[in-house]
Amino acid sequence: MLKRQFTTSASLLKNVRPAVKVSEKKGPQSVGKNLPFKKSEKAWDKAGESKDEYFRKRFAHIHAKQKSNDTVQRRERFQEQRDDKRREARDHLKTERHNHKNKFYKDVYQSLKPNPLSEYVYGRSPVLAVLQQRKRSFLNKLFVERAPSKDSEIVQIAKNLGVDIVVAKSKHELNLLSNNGVHNGYVLETKPLLPTQVFELGKVQGKSYAIEEDDFGSKSIQTHETSNKNPFGLYLDGITDPHNVGAIIRSAYFLGVDFIVMSDKNSAPLSPVACKTSVGATEFIPIYSVTKPLQFFDKSRSNGWTFVSAATAEHKTDEKIFSTLQSKTVPFNAIHSLLEEGPCILVLGSEGEGIRTTLKLRSDFLVAIESAPGVDLLIDSLNVSVAGALIINKMLNN
């Protein structure tokens, strides 16, 4: 029987070679030398120069001051970056505060749900005057700061008129409704007070005088009585400050003026601010408006009314106009006699522009209040509400 046999001869082993040349060194061997490698060439090597020579040629000419400027510029650039970061942080904090505050503002306002078509009269006296006189077409809600007591006159009148009483959750709610005005714990939701439009002042018979009013597109004549010797009214031309309007209305009602006429286009409305400043006098004295002041002046004068403008005769551009106005000027102490002779209208204008020249030319007289001797020219006039009160008192009471 044959057997398989394998033999290895020494001559055969000598002819076997390894696939990779093995180093005879002991320890770990690197294969990096067998990998492709590209050595980066230095700039000075590329230029064929030594390192010292390379930098000396290219940077030795830079002045020390320029190096200093580079340092300053870097410092300023970093400072600007730091300032930008601080500014962003402040703006972010401001936005967070605003959003936080606005969240509560919206919550309060949503709880109140104010009506944009309504007006909110604030303050004890104005609210009481609105409830008593009932000149406004609509009375909806009375907001009070705390639970009302049984003897509260305002609350009792409001209940009798069927006005809802709403106790505010906080004083802040009333501050929002009154636009941070002094509300004294009372805010009344109502309709705006709209002056009746008139066309002219009619003839006077004794203590009775007629006013031609606009009655929903048609003309109607209403007769009124005066407690003065002759009827006496005010005309407000271009007074846009509601505080001045309110102060004038308060003085006029207190001193005994019969009525007030306002220009429809360039006068402040009878807003809650004007009502508050007047302490509610807007609800007691008759207030009218005109759309065509020049026609109102002409027609009323033809019916026997005398117009007195509280203004000086000064006119810087036209000497003829100045001469005409100068001839109309009367002394302050003589104006009482004007009301003694017949019905009068006192015209008051804004502190800045004053009465329009066209209205002064249509006035019968001009009157001005002179300052005391030695008063500095910086204080060259009075507030229109103060001047108006002095002239009203002088015309009514000599």
Q: What average pLDDT does this structure show over 128-157?
A: 85
Per-residue pLDDT band for 108 (boundaries 50, 70, 90) equals very low
Tracing tokens 């001869």 back to the chain, one arrives at: 9
CA gap 243, 266 in Å, rounded: 15
Q: What pLDDT, in 10s, does the model give residues 285-344? A: 999 999 999 999 999 999 999 999 999 888 877 888 888 898 899 999 999 999 999 999
pTM (2 d.p.): 0.70
Give the percent of the chain with pLDDT over 70: 82
Locate 161 and state its tokens.
């008129």
- pLDDT, tens digit (0-9, with 9 covering 90-100), for 263-291: 988 889 999 999 999 999 999 999 999 99
pLDDT-derived band of residue 19, with 50, 70 and 90 as boundaries?
low
List, for residues 27-60, the tens digit of each pLDDT value. Answer: 666 666 666 666 678 887 878 888 888 777 776 6
User: Does 2 have pLDDT greater than 60?
Assistant: no
- How much is the pLDDT for 353? 82
| Backbone φ and ψ of 260, nearest 5° | -130, 135
pLDDT at 109: 47
Q: For the sheet containing 344-349, what is the strand order? A: 218-225, 208-215, 196-205, 287-290, 259-263, 232-237, 344-349, 306-310, 365-367
For residue 204, pLDDT over 90 is answered with yes
Residue 71: HSE in the Cβ half-sphere, 13 Å Cα cutoff: 6
Task: Determine the average pLDDT of the residues in 211-238.
Answer: 91
Q: Which domains does the chain have, with CATH numbers?
A: 119-190 (3.30.1330.30), 196-371+378-396 (3.40.1280.10)
- In terms of Cβ atoms closer than 10 Å to its own Cβ (0-12, 13-18, 19+), residue 253 is buried
Of the candidates 259, 237, 238, 264, the residue with the CA atom closest to the CA atom of residue 249: 259
